[in-house]
Amino acid sequence: MSIKISNDSSRNTRIAQALGIYRSIAACNERLARSNDVHALTAALMLPCYQAEFRRLARDLSHAEQDELSFVLRRMERADAPTLPRHGAPSAVH
């Protein structure tokens, strides 16, 4: 039982690390898109490091961990995506 808990703990740790790096990548991209200051320069310098670390960590994940990470990332992307207005039936009231 303790081996299962230990495996779950290390699995969660690796996924949490990957998510943290992914958030850093997103923050760098956002900074680069919004600004042209010293923070954007720092983001430009750090972005390749974060991307390389994310690729390394993702490569080392098991198939189940990769599936879980993909699921969480898709859920995060949907939460961040702008919602389009829903066009229902036209209203009779103008």
- Domain extents in the chain: 2-75
Residue 8: predicted pLDDT? 72
Evaluate if pTM is beyond 0.85. Answer: no
Structure tokens at 81: 């995506």
CA 10 to chain centre: 19
Give dist(CA 19, CA 11) in Å, integer. Answer: 12
CA 73 to chain centre: 5
Q: Which residue has the higher pLDDT, 83 or 26?
A: 26
Averaged pLDDT, 26-33: 94
